[in-house]
């Protein structure tokens, strides 16, 4: 190597791949909290002046007190734990099945012709219509609940992954072919990374649907879980418990989604689009 190149090496210390981040003010993250805080304060105020009746819409302070009581008695962690368990299991099963089938139908036209029309037909069945059948087949234990969640997670992941694979830039695939990559290498080195953005969108909407379906499953017949707590609050006439469960659903759904979103952002830092830099 020539001396000019070694000089070049030393003069520029290193060119970090992620050095082009737009400057953001230190407090910009706080913006997303402004609206909820204002609403909460307004809600609390209107409850205190008895504009909202406590038997219909209890004050935020009493909802938080109810959650605190549940936490102290240990009930909270029990219900949250069982709901999370169902979500994780259903999400994993539905997600894995969707990943396999989505990748296959996206990659191979003949597999697509064999499988996709049937799956699309199944998709048009309202998912709650499965409930009686699942209960008939699997009883009333955990299995039908997890199965229902898996069904909910399956379709968004499947659809996004399939169209993601189909939408991979033909020109990049050709580069892989020109370098004589095997099918497996082509999948790992071109298709997988190229499909990742669509796949992560699919996982996030799958997880969102998973949360909707866990409520459906638990409302319909369960003796534990957040959905049960919801129904329990209704039948025993405790609006604070109903609101507490809703709040917990919101918080947990948001947290799990944020986890996926952060993971996605880290994996997709290479993307060159408007949204990826904001």
- In the complex, the residues that contact other proteins under the rule CB under 8 A are 1-2, 5, 8-9, 12, 14-17, 20, 171-172, 174-175, 177-180, 189-190, 193-194, 196, 270-272
Whether 208 and 257 have beta carbons less than 8 Å apart is answered as yes
Whether 206 and 94 have beta carbons less than 8 Å apart is answered as yes
In the complex, minimum distance from the CB of residue 99 to other proteins, in angstroms, rounded to a whole number: 19
Rounded to the nearest angstrom, the gap between the alpha carbon of residue 196 and the centroid of all alpha carbons in its chain is: 15
- Taking each helix axis from N to C terminus, what angle separates 130-138 and 192-220, rounded to the nearest 10 degrees? 80
Q: Which is nearer to other proteins, 196 or 220 (CB)?
A: 196
In the complex, minimum distance from the CB of residue 19 to other proteins, in angstroms, rounded to a whole number: 8
Question: Alpha-carbon distance 93 to 100, whole Å?
Answer: 11
Could you tell me the two tokens for 176?
């892989």
Q: Which is nearer to other proteins, 78 or 189 (CB)?
A: 189
Q: Which is nearer to other proteins, 28 or 182 (CB)?
A: 182
Q: Which is nearer to other proteins, 150 or 200 (CB)?
A: 200
In the complex, minimum distance from the CB of residue 192 to other proteins, in angstroms, rounded to a whole number: 10
Whether 214 and 225 have beta carbons less than 8 Å apart is answered as yes
In the complex, minimum distance from the CB of residue 14 to other proteins, in angstroms, rounded to a whole number: 6
Could you write out the DSSP letters of every residue in 253-265? Answer: HHHHHHHHHHHHH
In the complex, minimum distance from the CB of residue 122 to other proteins, in angstroms, rounded to a whole number: 33
In the complex, minimum distance from the CB of residue 22 to other proteins, in angstroms, rounded to a whole number: 14
Q: Which is nearer to other proteins, 75 or 169 (CB)?
A: 169
Q: Which is nearer to other proteins, 126 or 275 (CB)?
A: 275
Whether 158 and 119 have beta carbons less than 8 Å apart is answered as yes
**Sign of the C-alpha dihedral, residues 142, 128, 241, 63?**
positive
């Amino acid at each position: 190597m020539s001396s000019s190149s070694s000089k070049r090496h030393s003069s520029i210390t290193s060119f970090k791949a992620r050095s082009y981040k737009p400057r953001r003010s230190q407090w910009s993250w706080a913006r997303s909290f402004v609206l909820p805080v204002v609403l909460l304060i307004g809600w609390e105020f209107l409850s205190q002046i008895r504009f909202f009746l406590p038997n219909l819409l209890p004050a935020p302070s009493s909802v938080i007190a109810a959650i605190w009581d549940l936490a102290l008695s240990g009930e909270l962690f029990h219900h949250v734990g069982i709901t999370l368990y169902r979500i994780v299991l259903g999400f994993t099963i539905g997600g894995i099945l969707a990943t396999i089938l989505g990748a296959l139908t996206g990659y191979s036209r003949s597999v697509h012709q064999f499988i996709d029309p049937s799956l699309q037909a199944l998709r048009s069945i309202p998912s709650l219509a499965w409930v009686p059948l699942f209960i008939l087949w699997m009883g009333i234990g955990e299995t039908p609940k997890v199965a229902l969640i898996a069904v909910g997670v399956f379709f968004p992941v499947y659809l996004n992954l399939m169209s993601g694979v189909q939408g991979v830039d033909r020109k990049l695939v050709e580069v892989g072919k020109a370098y004589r990559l095997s099918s497996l290498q082509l999948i790992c080195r071109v298709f997988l990374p190229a499909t990742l953005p669509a796949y992560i969108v699919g996982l996030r909407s799958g997880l969102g649907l998973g949360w909707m379906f866990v409520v459906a499953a638990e409302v319909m017949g369960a003796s534990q879980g957040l959905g049960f707590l919801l129904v329990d609050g209704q039948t025993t006439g405790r609006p604070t418990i109903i609101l507490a469960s809703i709040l917990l659903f919101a918080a947990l759904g948001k947290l799990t989604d944020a986890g996926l979103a952060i993971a996605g952002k880290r994996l997709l830092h290479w993307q060159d689009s408007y949204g990826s830099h904001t």
